Chain A
Amino acid sequence: AQSVAQPEDQVNVAEGNPLTVKCTYSVSGNPYLFWYVQYPNRGLQFLLKYITGDNLVKGSYGFEAEFNKSQTSFHLKKPSALVSDSALYFCAVRVYNQGGKLIFGQGTELSVKP
């Protein structure tokens, strides 16, 4: 069965410090992986995706993610956190041959303090 795990419910970072939000996955076949961010009472905003190619993927707002096939991980990173990065982050995997179905992790609340 396809699944996504985000092992941390919450991540706390000081502004200006690097941040990492962790994600591991389990899929059959090649994974299509995504990161989304959700601000309070809003929908999900797409940050970045890995389909194929370079293991380091760059996305919106200075975020990047590293695909690691051997560790089945797709951690989200940013070199210097901003207070405005505080939000709920979701990792997701697209289910092979099932069109628009994404399986989401449970989400990680990122809190960036000044």
Chain B
Amino acid sequence: KAGVTQTPRYLIKTRGQQVTLSCSPISGHRSVSWYQQTPGQGLQFLFEYFSETQRNKGNFPGRFSGRQFSNSRSEMNVSTLELGDSALYLCASSPGQKNTGELFFGEGSRLTVL
């Protein structure tokens, strides 16, 4: 069974640009969550999607957005990039509606903003 797949793994952007990151969850998983990891702030929750609907949202500005498609694949978008957006962006999936179990993480997309 394939794991969570994130693309691209590495990317470099300049300030003001926008970026789209993609996440394919484990087959059969309907929930996809996104996290930002930085040395200073650690791991912070961005948002979660379940059955194409945003179920939870963290404390990030509106420049950060996401969506989920009918096949459960998810994308997140960051517009008007700032230097502070440089981070490892992690996607995680889990099976069902009532999540009491663990999340399964991808390898991450490392974004560098110059």
Contact size range, B: 20 to 34
B7-18 Cβ-contact flags toward A at 8 Å (1 or 0): 000000000000
Contacts of A43 in B (CB 8 A): 4, 6, 90, 105-108
Residue of B nearest to A98 (CB): B56
Contacts of B108 in A (CB 8 A): 42-43
| A102 CB-CB contact with B under 8 Å | yes
Which B1-47 residues have C-beta < 8 A from chain A?
4, 6, 31-33, 35, 42-43, 45
| B114 CB-CB contact with A under 8 Å | no
Contact size range, A: 20 to 34
A-B CB pair tally, cutoff 8 Å? 67
The majority secondary structure among interface residues of chain B is strand
Query: Does B107 lie within 8 Å of A42, measured CB to CB?
Result: yes
Contacts of A51 in B (CB 8 A): 100-101
Contacts of B99 in A (CB 8 A): 94, 99-100
A36 to B43, CA, bound (A): 12
Min CB gap B78→A, angstroms: 19
Give me the 4 closest cross-chain CB pairs, A-B, nearest first. A104-B43, A100-B33, A43-B105, A44-B105
Can you offer 23 A-B residue contacts whose CB atoms are under 8 A?
A32-B100, A36-B105, A41-B110, A42-B108, A43-B106, A43-B107, A44-B90, A45-B105, A46-B103, A46-B104, A49-B101, A90-B43, A99-B31, A99-B33, A99-B55, A99-B56, A100-B33, A100-B55, A100-B94, A100-B103, A102-B103, A103-B45, A106-B42
